[in-house]
Amino acid sequence: MTRALHAAAATLLAVLSWQALVTLADLPRFILPGPGLVAQALWSNRALIADHALITAIEVLVGLGLGSALGFVSAILLAASPLALSLLRPMLVFSQAIPVFALAPILTLWLGYGLWSKVAMALLIIYFPVTSAFFDALMRTAPGWLELARVMNAPPARVMWHIRVPAALPGFASGLRLAVVYAPIGAIIGEWVGASQGLGYLMLLANGRAKIDLMFAALIVLGILTLTLHAAVDALCRRLWGA
């Protein structure tokens, strides 16, 4: 209840500050529409926005699921194999040196304007945070537990799955919390580069037609979608792993 009250108070403060800025600065609606105009645009275009929001949500969820699964497996492989660590880790770091915007046109060219180019963008943008967070947690397993496993002659596979992975799940949860925030960024960038559906496409379309209130309405829905996904992932992580 306290968190809900804090969130409601923060939202009210943001809306009041927004309205005060528009009123005091006398900003025209094509520069910054007031919250009332945006709310009106959101209500009058609710069906249109909902259709595009559903597409973006699917892109984000599929990318999040695939990227998290791939990051989980990659982190275990890096932790279990020194050869994989020496070969793959530099490639992971190098992949982060390439701006995501530079990859979006290439992925659109390869995968087309449909769902999978946006899923690939979301996957790429979350893969490194999930892999890095889980790998670091795997490498910080309590030395006493590992020493006990060696004394009992436990095989490496059992040590990994029965000691290191369970101990590192809070780190994986941290990576998931980052991923759920980053995944919509990848999907929206993909929609900006080339799409016919999604909130990113709707924002570009509204901007091109000077419907700034509709653009802000789509942006607010995107923010609500991201916050909802983050809250759901956070609750799931707490329930499953207490992290």
Q: Which residues have C-beta within 8 Å of that of residue 6, sequence separation ≥ 6?
A: none
Start-to-end CA span in the chain (Å): 20
Residue 102 structure tokens = 């530079």
Domain-embedded: residue 107: yes
Q: Is residue 106 part of a domain?
A: yes
Query: What sign has the CA pseudo-torsion 141, 182, 68, 242?
Result: positive
Q: Is the pLDDT of residue 241 over 90?
A: no
What's the pLDDT at 64?
Answer: 95
Q: What is the pTM of this model?
A: 0.92
Question: Do 40 and 213 contact (CB within 8 A), yes or no?
Answer: yes
Q: Which pLDDT score, from 0 to 100, does residue 103 have?
A: 87
Is 126 domain-assigned? yes
Per residue in 60-70, pLDDT tens? 999 999 999 99
Please tell me the predicted confidence (pLDDT) of residue 199.
96
Say what the pLDDT of residue 84 is. Answer: 86
Q: What is the arithmetic mean of pLDDT over 83-101?
A: 82
Count of domains observed in the chain: 1
Q: How long a stretch of residues is the chain? A: 243
Is 72 among the domain residues? yes
In a domain, 15, yes or no: no
Residue 113 lies inside a defined structural domain of this protein: yes
Q: Is the pLDDT reported for residue 95 higher than 80?
A: no
pLDDT band at residue 1 using 50, 70 and 90 as cut-offs: low
Averaged confidence pLDDT in the chain: 91
Separation of alpha carbons 14 and 145, rounded Å:
49
Rounded to 10 deg, the angle between the 35-44 and 212-241 helix axes is: 80
Q: What pLDDT sits at residue 136?
A: 94
110 within a domain of the structure (yes/no): yes
135-163 pLDDT per residue, tens: 999 999 998 988 988 888 889 899 999 99
- Condensed to tens digits (0 to 9), the pLDDT of residues 181-207 reads 999 999 999 999 988 899 999 999 999
Domain extent, residue 94, equals 61-196
Residue 121, domain CATH: 1.10.3720.10
Calculate helix-pair angle for 100-111, 165-193, nearest 10 degrees: 70
Of 123, 96, 236, nearest to 190 (Cα)?
Answer: 123
- Angle subtended by helix axes 46-80 and 199-208, to nearest 10: 130
Burial state string for 35-45 with b = 16 or more CB within 10 A and e = fewer than 16: bebbbebbeeb
Could you tell me if residue 214 is inside a domain?
Answer: no
